[in-house]
Chains A and B, each alone.
Chain A
Amino acid sequence: MASRYVGQKIKRTEDPRLIKGIGHYVDDIKLPDTLHCVILHSIYAHARINSIDTEAAAALPGVVAIYTGADIKDKIGNVPVASALETLKVPPHPVLAVDKVRYVGEPVAAVVANDKYIARDALDLIVVDYDPLDAVVDPEKTAAGEGPLIHEQFSDNIAVTWKLEGGSSIDDAFKNADRIVKQRLVNQRLAPIAMEPRGVLARYLPGENELTLWSSTQIPHLMRTQVALMIGLPENRLRVITPEVGGGFGSKLNVYGEEALCSFISMQLHRPVKWIETRRENIQNTIHGRGQIGNMEVAVKNDGTLLGLKYKVIADLGAYHQLLTPAIPTLTGLMLSGAYKIPAILMELTGVFTNKVATDAYRGAGRPEATFIVERIVDVVAQELNLDPVDVRRRNFPKPNEFPFATATGLFYDSGNYDAALDKALEMVDYKELRTQQKKARDEGKLIGIGVSSYVEICALGPSAAMPAGGWESATVRVEPTGKVTVLTGTSPHGQGQETSFAQIVADSLGVDLNDVLVIHGDTSIVQYGIGTFGSRATAVGGTAVVMAMDKVVTKAKKIAAHLLQAGDAEISFDNGKFCCVTRAPEKAAAEGVGGAVVQSPAAALPEPNPGKTVSIQEVALAAHLANNLPPDTEPGLSATHFFEPKNFTFPFGTHICVVEVDKETGEIEILRYVAVDDCGKVINPLLVHGQVHGGIVQGLGQALYEEVVYDETGQLITGTLMDYAVPKAHQMPRMELDRTETPTDVNPLGIKGVGEAGTIGATPCIVNAVVDALSQFGVRDIEMPLKPEKLWRLMNQN
């Protein structure tokens, strides 16, 4: 395979239309006669609904319909949750609240009007009579049994308890330890804040009994299945289209109520219905991420060897389950071994209901939490034992010859060379010299900190056996009569750039121009069923499906080419878009030369081949469609579909190092250097990989320094706009120095691991470790995120 494109820095073919602003997001799709839906949200965290008076609102000219929970509760099914946890309490999650509201922002009523202004005006005319109840806000108090019941049918607010115990005896590990190191560690609630909020446009055509749903989602096919079930429409009557999707970060890996609601309303009113989420709604109603309060205990030897790890964690799940809510902390459990050989691991999870919006998958989804606590505790161990944190890491790394490496949590790390990534990062910063400089700076009264984080993450989700709704991915590769290539992928790119990277793979393999390959995704009526884009899976799993489908196409094309070239299949080579008849293999020629036509080779039936004669993939495609000169028993057309089921996850890894300076007087933090060495296996497009790592680091840094969803003690959301929820901005970012190591995986033929979440996973602990290091002279062991300057100032002045 010639590598004209794969491995090259190819600019995204998606970008021109996005940069020019001529792409189409849901709100850019205008259908005649569209009705606009707006939603009334609860202003209470916890309250009984006595009555909802919609009379005045309904009387407003231009208002077409108003729906409350009572109107739709028997007509639209509950918002779904996919979880296999046996003891999980699953409360009904209605699309519009019935009788009770359980978080600020919970949808209470929907107004449908001729335009969105009228609809919004009507909201102000709806009078809801609430009986406020005490709110359950603090997850720890909730786990301890405090607070009123959020769901009265259950005996308490504990949604799930779950235990993961693996490896050797945890008790022995703690008995044999030289020392036990404990630390409370908190992953605060974060809001994903995709650039484009969610949006829905539903159009029901009664004559055809056909519903088309445009939705800003990461999972069009899963959405189709779930919405069909929620509204009782046969799945094949429902078409989900994802036009441009302006980011998701996991927040659109979900099935929310609005899709079913707008679909239902369109079916009732026989007009298109549009709902576009506002930024306020996005922060208060779209899922949050993280939200774990944990206590970490590790058993260590004095040389820093890790013997065992116990993690007791309370997960703040929110008032209802969304699609993956309870699954996220279990993923944290699986990843508790981090980049280390830890013989015994125990995790005890208590997931609690609180009067807040649900937590669910946010970039990294359980792994950033795991990496954060593991990488933090390694630093705390180093601090307690007075060891270099790099040495503690290195001592516990599995070595390259130990792969596949089995963790105590039951995973098999596919491949890795953790020392290599660490060494490269250390070399980039000149670690030894850096420590010397740090000491010098400290002597001058400057607070310099160095933070290291060596992460492993779990990607390419994943084998179906380990996934709630299928872990495979699909692709169709079709060579059109003119030789243009169409790829239909079951993944649903929304910023990752697979229109480019898949085209690179296909263009190289088929020897066609990059611009002759079109990658189509996100339309369930065009694309075969697929799973979607999340969990750094699209290229590793979806790209592999493309490769497999393409192999089928090439096999068939070869057969046709052989026919056209009057050669045997085995005598056809394919390179750079040309099928070529090669000279017969010498042994075959020799065998024939002996004269005995004992073995009837397929070519033998044909006339003498023409060595060196070629036919192009385009010519083959045309022949396949003209179908007047095909080999016997060959179907016309040149297209193949493959559903790829991966055998394992992949486990990318890397080391991030940063250097910070803390202002002694004010606690303000400046990042002086940020170095990231990531290993995501083979790379298809370094530009895309860099883009993913950059964006990932930005979000990881956001968690470390700025971001925090704050609810007050009555459950009011305090960080309700971007004036208070601190999404990191370009000017707050350090220059990032990126490099890679490349350890291929054998999980897929491309040798790629996935990189969508690596930056986020590596960055957060790296920055916190650096800041804690800077403050170590004040006896600081940990600082709760976000690392606001005021907290640092208080720590430096507490004595």
Chain B
Amino acid sequence: MIPASFDYHRPTSIEETLSLLSKFGDDAKILSGGHSLVPAMKLRLAQPGVIIDIGKVPGMSEIRQDGDAIVIGALVTHYQVESSDLVKRLCPLLAQTAEQIGDVQVRNRGTIGGSLAHSDPAADYPAAMLALGAEITAVGPKGKRTIKADDFFVDMLTTALEPNEILTEIRVPATGSNKVAYLKVPQSASGFAIVGVAVNLTTNGNSDCKSARIGITGLSARAFRANGVESGLAGKALDAPTIKSASSKAADGQDPLSDIHASGDYRAHLARVYTQRAIEQALS
């Protein structure tokens, strides 16, 4: 619980952040809200020689509307997302997800950019990002690029970000009249998702599904789109048998994780049950 020593930098611009990153390379870690990195450092599981605290970099702490999308700065806290009227109005799924993350302290300090860049296999946001079709903006020495959520989550604690890039903002399409929901089974100690399911359905009225995006977290090493469920819903009337049969594919193709809190079998079962419940909740 006593971290190793490190050098501390607090850049005030993205350019300065990038130059620090390129200068220190692998030895450097970006500090945002610190709710994943600092515990790892206190346990000395992470011992970065250099901490680059981006908390004072301007322009990354706001939520704004940009046409049909919401743009969320990387430094926006979970509490900001959960309580933002803009988010609640244009993208309620995201607010619903944010309010289920960790506890009050975590939500007050933890940031959306930090959570996504850390890519915990049981974090809540990734499921929502996938369901929403979010785009993640990364800035590196070669400039800015956009990474689709579908391509962002590579493996456990591993994302598509390059070591010399930083995540600056997330663009989330407004969901309009879509039917959305995020449901999770929290692990009793940590509050992380044993399974978390984010549902985003485009419907004709209430009964026919035009398209579906389902993101699932916690089940396996990384959050994923439940393709089988999506194709089981798209273009169909959303009656109970359709929902049930589509949800039964929630864990297909996945290699579920097992730990002392839940076996792989049970996680897969929960993924199916909670997919169905999330769809039902979205439609209710």
Contact = CB atoms under 8 A, between A and B. Distances in A.
A and B touch in the complex (CB under 8 A): yes
Interface of A: 38, 116-117, 120-121, 124, 278-280, 665-666, 668, 705-706, 710, 718-719, 721-727, 729, 732, 788-790, 793-794
Nearest to B44: A124
B189 A722 contact: yes
A726 B189 contact: yes
B262 interface: yes
A114 to B, nearest CB: 14
Given A278-B2, A666-B273, A790 B262 contact: yes
A116 B260 contact: no
Q: Which 3 pairs from chain A and chain B are nearest by CB?
A: A278-B1, A726-B189, A120-B2
Contacts of B117: none
B260 A718 contact: yes
A724 B5 contact: no
B2 A38 contact: yes
B192 to A, nearest CB: 8
B103 interface: yes
A723 B273 CA distance: 25
B263 A790 contact: yes
12 contacts: A116-B2, A120-B4, A124-B44, A280-B1, A668-B185, A705-B188, A710-B260, A724-B261, A732-B188, A788-B188, A790-B263, A794-B266
Given A706-B189, A721-B43, A726-B189, 14 more contacts: A38-B2, A117-B2, A278-B2, A280-B43, A666-B185, A705-B188, A719-B260, A724-B189, A725-B189, A726-B188, A732-B188, A788-B261, A790-B263, A794-B266
Contact of A724 (B4, B260, B262, B269): B260
Contacts of A668: 185
Contact of A793 (B1, B4, B269): B269
Nearest to A706: B188
A666 B186 CA distance: 13
Contacts of B260: 710, 718-719, 724
Indicate the member of B5, B185, B189, B261 with the most A CB atoms within 10 Å.
B189
A116 B3 CA distance: 10
Contacts of B266: 789-790, 793-794
B284 interface: no
Interface string B241-266: 00000000000000000001111001
Contacts of B269: 666, 793
A274 to B, nearest CB: 13
A724 B190 CA distance: 6
B123 interface: no
Nearest to B270: A666
A278 B2 CA distance: 9
Indicate the member of B4, B188, B262, B266 with the most A CB atoms within 10 Å.
B188
Nearest to A794: B266
Contacts of B4: 120-121, 124
A541 B174 CA distance: 66
Nearest to A730: B103
Contacts of A706: 188-189
A279 B2 CA distance: 11
A718 B273 CA distance: 29
Interface string B187-200: 11110100000000
A736 B192 CA distance: 26
Contacts of B5: 117, 121
Nearest to A725: B189
A253 to B, nearest CB: 24
Contacts of B188: 705-706, 726, 732, 788
A790 B44 CA distance: 33
Contacts of A666: 185, 269-270, 273
Contacts of A790: 262-263, 266
Contacts of B262: 788, 790
Contacts of A710: 260
B106 to A, nearest CB: 12
Contacts of A732: 188
A798 to B, nearest CB: 13
A124 B260 CA distance: 29
Nearest to B267: A790
B99 to A, nearest CB: 12
Interface in B130-150: none
B1 A723 contact: no
Contacts of A705: 188
A124 B4 CA distance: 10
Contacts of B263: 790
Contacts of A725: 189
A762 B262 CA distance: 28
A484 B67 CA distance: 72
B160 to A, nearest CB: 26
Nearest to B189: A726
Interface string B111-122: 000000000000
Nearest to A668: B185
Contacts of A121: 4-5
A710 B189 CA distance: 13
